[in-house]
Amino acid sequence: MIEASPRRLLVFRTVVDLGGFNAAAHQLGIAQPSAGAHVKALERQAGQALLKRHRGARPQLTDAGKLVYAMAGEIIRLSQETGQRLADLKAKQIGEIVIAAHRDLAASFLTPFLSRFSRKHMRSRIVTRIGTIEDVLALVESGIAQIGVLLTSGTIQGLSSEIIALEPLNLLAAKSHPLSQKEKLTSYDLRKQAFVSGLKQSRYFQMTERALRMIDVSDPDIALEFQESQSIKEALRHGNYIACLPACTSEAELSAGTIVPLDLKTPLSPLEIRCIYQPNPNSMIQNLIEILRG
């Protein structure tokens, strides 16, 4: 018997659909070894290989893999539908909406919209769950949250979504940093600098790394990694580092002058603030989405 979570089955299907472990890990916001571990665990339960692996080629399904792939699709579909129906039933009973929000957006971006919705729907109750991008995705995918708001740089597989705003990205440093007073910095100026960043296996890191590559800063020297932006900002204040952060995370520090934006010759591309939800949202979720659109 195969007793696997919908998340593990989703990893397996994504590896097959995208043709590799690296692509699947990037899509799902997990580390590549984690994607491989999920597939190996499924193979142990099945007692046989599910994929034929050849270096430099897409993994191919074995006969057993084809059976598990079909089963995984059905289980994922049923899990999502059941989670959504349970969430809808609860919402109808008590007028409750559970919204998952990325921690950088909960206070700075989301709160005014939720207040506006509450004034319009006096009998509703909103429960906000705050966490990482990966947390938000998991909460919406499982049906625990009916809607999520997070930073992205593209669509989210398996969920309905739409862009509700764009969030500027800044390169930041302390006033004392050697580059803080220079104008029109190029990729050459930045390549030899020490950076502080989010965790390398996170979607947050992948988005900022992609933005840096677009201005020709590849493989930056990451000296420190942190799981949240407050620690990144503290590292900037106390060390000779550069960080790539969304504008919403650093408004207070920029106003106070404790950290400063670097003047780039080519600005960084903004991130998307995206609203995600399961297909066919109920009327309350549709009303909230309309308010989020502004």
How far apart CA 289 and CA 279 sit, in angstroms, is: 13
CATH architecture label of 6-81: Orthogonal Bundle (1.10)
Spatial contact of 97 and 68, defined as CB atoms under 8 Å apart: no
pLDDT recorded at residue 90: 64
Say what the alpha-carbon torsion angle 35, 40, 45, 49 is, to the nearest 10 degrees. Answer: 120
| Residue 245 to residue 260: CA distance in whole angstroms | 12
The amino acid occupying position 285 is I
> What's the rounded mean pLDDT across residues 62-74?
89
- State residue 76's pLDDT score: 83
Give whichever of 25-34, 41-50, 90-99, 215-224 has the largest mean pLDDT. Answer: 215-224
What gap in Å lies between CA 166 and CA 168, rounded to an integer?
7
Residue 271's CB is within 10 A of a number of other CB atoms, namely 24
Query: How many other CB atoms are found less than 10 A from the CB of residue 41?
Result: 15
Residues of the chain with CATH 3.40.190.10: 95-161+272-292, 169-269
The CATH number corresponding to 169-269 among 3.40.50.2000, 3.30.1540.10, 3.40.50.11720, 3.40.190.10 equals 3.40.190.10
What is the location of CATH 1.10.10.10 in the chain? Answer: 6-81
* Length of the chain measured in residues: 294
Has this prediction a pTM greater than 0.95? no
Question: In whole angstroms, what is the distance from residue 122 CA to residue 115 CA?
Answer: 10
Spell out where the chain has E strands: 51-52, 60-61, 96-102, 125-131, 147-152, 160-167, 169-173, 194-198, 221-226, 242-246, 260-261, 271-277
Structural class in CATH, domain 95-161+272-292: alpha beta
Q: What is the pLDDT of residue 222?
A: 94
Phi, psi of 169 (to 5 degrees): -110, 135
Helix, coil or strand: residue 174: coil
Find the mean pLDDT for residues 244-267. 92
So what's the pLDDT on residue 92?
60
Mean pLDDT value of segment 42-52: 89
User: Mean pLDDT score of the chain, rounded to an integer?
Assistant: 88
Q: pLDDT-derived band of residue 270, with 50, 70 and 90 as boundaries?
A: very high
pLDDT tens per residue across span 128-184 = 999 999 999 999 988 889 999 999 988 888 888 999 999 999 999 999 999 998 999
Q: Summarize pLDDT for 112-135 with one digit per residue, the tens.
A: 999 998 888 877 788 999 999 999
Calpha distance 272→203 (Å, rounded): 13
pLDDT classification of 245: cutoffs 50, 70, 90: very high
pLDDT in tens, 182-240: 999 999 999 889 999 999 888 899 999 999 999 999 889 999 999 889 999 999 999 89
Structure tokens of 111?
A: 């709160």
How many angstroms separate the CA atoms of 271 and 168, rounded? 6
